[in-house]
Amino acid sequence: MTDESIAATSPAATSPTATGPAATSAAADAVVRVRDRYAAAATRAAAGQTLVDPCETTVFGAGLYDGTDAAASLAVLPAGVAEASLGCGNPLAVVDLREGETVLDLGSGGGIDVLLSARRVGPAGRAIGLDMTDEMLDLARRHAAEAGVANAAFLKGRIEDIPLPDASVDVVISNCVITLSTDKPAVFREIARVLRPGGRLGVSDLVADAVATRTQDVDPTGCGVTAVTADEYRVMLAEAGLDGISVTPTHEAGPGLSAAIVRARRPEV
């Protein structure tokens, strides 16, 4: 994706507070910065180097899978998959996956949650990773090939404009990516569109602890985080037409920020 195409697809309204041409340009710049940061991280991971992404602290990465039933599955994945994990939680602990389901991971990075999901849904199911960064897609496809996982696919695209048909997915997961989006309402509308009626959302993400620590302009983690509060998150999910909404902060993840577990579902009718 070129910088021009990113600018062309960037949102007109970018946050609960920022609107207009300056905000649009700032949003496009933020997308470029996020993509470049994760392209560099993927390149280092592909070379077998330890990731030095500024997000990689004790509250991010594969350590968050310890003590869960995903830990055993992680142990059988090829070397490098866990090391390339840059999430802030474990979405597979947030949502139950059933045999035969189709799962979509928004911002799939090196593929950790896609590969774990593919095992959970079995050969009759499918796990799809979506990411805008070519280097991350290459890394994830390499990990899938090394793991011998046949029911996983990785698509290029933006989570604000998901390249999948309406009502084609049973479960949407994501791990520390929606917080990077400068157009969260668009992300939630797209989630509601691609979920089948009754489909579920299970996400690990970052939220601001209070309006005062919203990070629309300040990025204390250096990761491109644009965190909103849990209340704002709930309102946006409801406005997208989702129900069964819960946004539960779990642990501190930076100055004024918490990791959170997010659950919602698309109504049956």
Least separation, in Å, of the C-beta of 268 and ligand SAM? Answer: 28
Nearer to ligand SAM, 121 or 177 (CB): 177
Contact with ligand SAM (CB under 6 A): which of 34, 70, 92, 227?
A: 34
- Strands in the chain per DSSP E: 102-106, 126-131, 152-156, 169-175, 195-208, 243-254, 257-265
Residue 253 contacts ligand SAM per CB under 6 A: no
Contact with ligand SAM (CB under 6 A): which of 23, 115, 127, 132?
A: 132
Q: Which of 108, 115, 160, 114 is nearest to 136 (CA)?
A: 108
Q: Which of 124, 122, 53, 119 is nearest to 92 (CA)?
A: 119
Contact with ligand SAM (CB under 6 A): which of 107, 125, 185, 199?
A: 107
Site string for ligand SAM, 158-197 (x = CB under 6 A): xxx--------------xxx--xx----------------
Residue 97 contacts ligand SAM per CB under 6 A: no
Report the largest interatomic distance among the alpha carbons of the chain, rounded to a whole angstrom: 49
Residues 6+ apart with CB under 8 A from 251: 59, 258, 259
The binding site for ligand SAM (CB under 6 A) comprises 34-35, 38, 55, 85-87, 107-110, 112-113, 131-133, 136, 158-160, 175-177, 180-181
